[in-house]
Amino acid sequence: MKVDILLGLQWGDEGKGKVVDVLTPRYDVVARFQGGPNAGHTLEFEGQKYVLRSIPSGIFQGDKVNIIGNGVVLDPALFKAEAEALEASGHNLKERLHISKKAHLILPTHRILDAAYEAAKGDAKVGTTGKGIGPTYTDKISRNGVRVGDILHDFDKKYAAAKARHEQILKGLNYEYDLSELEKVWFEGIEYLKQFKFVDSEHEINGLLSDGKSVLCEGAQGTMLDIDFGSYPFVTSSNTICAGACTGLGIAPNKIGEVYGIFKAYCTRVGAGPFPTELFDKTGDQICTLGHEFGSVTGRKRRCGWIDLVALKYAIMVDGVTKLIMMKSDVLDSFETIKACVAYKVNGEEIDYFPFDIEGVEPVYVELPGWQTDMTKMQSEDEFPEEFNAYLSFLEEQLGVPVKIVSVGPDREQTIERYTEE
């Protein structure tokens, strides 16, 4: 068996949680391979809305194994709050959620360091969520991290050493803080974590594959936030691309099957960083309002703009995408004209590839007629208006990959699978 991978192709917030929930019935296992509680996956079904931060989106399907992989960074306090909220709504996590021993723990001092580093940057700040993600991955790479498996081995000693090191850094930054409440809630989270099954996830996943089980790997954030291939330095601290599933779960590259790439019918971004197609007019505000573009974790308003096909083609290339999934098509239902960026202008020269630096590039647009039809009640592609079909055909021609699934609303039922030729 091979694993299938599902990831975002833009700057995150593409709608990965909903799609994982829709696809999960086809799989035996759902595994999260990177990121932390800075990424929220929103799912809506049966009149309820859920936001998942660290827990894989397959958790709502009762008979599935869900794995938090070694590439994830985990905050015990936030995990406890998230898990208890799910359990209160009737979902039994302890029987179906496994946590990698090699996943790194976000310490209370990591969150304080995150705030201190951002404050020190002044106007050059990246715009992090303040959840301690960056400092945790920094400790991981510098070989100073504390891992989930350490909870079972000399934990107090390892925690104390990490805390002392962080406090020395904070002293040098002259940053004032109060650790008491954060630490209290964090240790309550550690005790709660002990109720779950800690696993060597690389052995578990490869064993499941050998047993013929089907596995869906779930990414967080988006390709354009990848630490290596995103719009650096305005990126996250992990590898959000397809290859991140290999290192974040212990899967060999030859075990990868389908790669599902998710994108919105337009584009959004949260926080600082270049955004070539960003709109600063009423159209951008309209997209934001219609799309409810506010962060599921932070509540921050997302920056909105037209779809960027230059960036999308780049993401498809580095991820090896085999099937595309377009989200939030319905948000553009009322627009008379739809724009798509097909090239950039850099110093007066037109280019059709994603360059080293996208700061200040000028988008080159083509215009397409809008469909001006309410698509939210549609249940099959036979109902799609002619203009929408033309938009899909245009995208497939530009991107070279078929759009297999189209979302026309937030509910899991508002998902239409297309029967396009391979």
Q: Which residues contact 131 (CB under 8 A, 6 or more apart)?
A: 36, 37, 38, 75, 78, 106, 111, 114, 297
Which of these, 19, 85, 92, lies nearest to 59 by C-alpha position?
A: 92
Binding residues for Mg(2+): 13, 40
How many whole angstroms separate alpha carbon 135 and alpha carbon 295?
22
How many percent of the chain have pLDDT more than 90?
76
Q: Which of 140, 166, 313, 404 is catalytic?
A: 140
Contact 265, 307 (CB under 8 A): yes
Please give the pLDDT value at position 402: 96
Residue 17 has what pLDDT? Answer: 75
- pLDDT band at 140; cut points 50, 70, 90: very high
Q: What is the pTM of this model?
A: 0.91
User: Looking up tokens 């960083």, which residue turns up?
Assistant: 273
Pick the more confident residue, 49 or 315.
315
Q: Which of 41, 98, 131, 404 is catalytic?
A: 41
Condensed to tens digits (0 to 9), the pLDDT of residues 174-206 reads 998 999 999 999 999 999 999 999 999 999 999
Q: What is the mean pLDDT of residues 11-18?
A: 85
Cα–Cα distance for residue pair 223/241, rounded to 1 Å = 5
140 tagged catalytic: yes
Residue 419 is predicted with a pLDDT of 78
User: Which residues define the annotated binding site for substrate?
Assistant: 296-302
DSSP secondary structure, 243-295, as one string: HHHHHHHT--GGGEEEEEEEEESSEEE-SSS--TTB--SHHHHHHHHHTT-B-
The lowest-confidence range among 44-48, 65-69, 236-240, 355-359 is: 44-48
CA distances in angstroms from 24 to 20, 28, 59, 113, 244, listed in the order given: 6, 8, 9, 37, 20
Fold match between 3-101+199-260 and 104-194?
no
Tens-place pLDDT, residues 151-168: 999 999 999 999 999 999
CATH, domain range 3-101+199-260: 3.40.440.10
Binding residues: 12-18, 38-42, 129, 143, 221, 236, 296-302, 328-330, 407-409
CATH fold label, 104-194: Adenylosuccinate Synthetase, subunit A; domain 2 (1.10.300)
pLDDT (0 to 100) of residue 64: 87
Catalytic (active site) residue 13:
yes
Question: What span, in angstroms and rounded, lies between the C-alpha atoms of 75 and 86?
Answer: 16
- Distance separating alpha carbons of residues 196 and 238, to the nearest angstrom: 25
232: its two tokens:
């650096």
- State the binding site for GTP: 12-18, 40-42, 302, 328-330, 407-409
Q: Considering only 61-70, 280-289, 314-323, which range has the smallest mean pLDDT? A: 61-70
Q: Is the pLDDT of residue 47 over 70?
A: no
Per-domain residue ranges of the chain: 3-101+199-260, 104-194, 263-417
Active site residue 178: no
3-state SS string for 30-79: EEECCECCCCCEEEEECCEEEEECCCCHHHHCCCCEEEECCCEEECHHHH
Mean pLDDT (the chain, rounded)? 92
Q: What pLDDT is stored for residue 412 in this prediction?
A: 81
Class at the top of the CATH hierarchy for domain 263-417: alpha beta
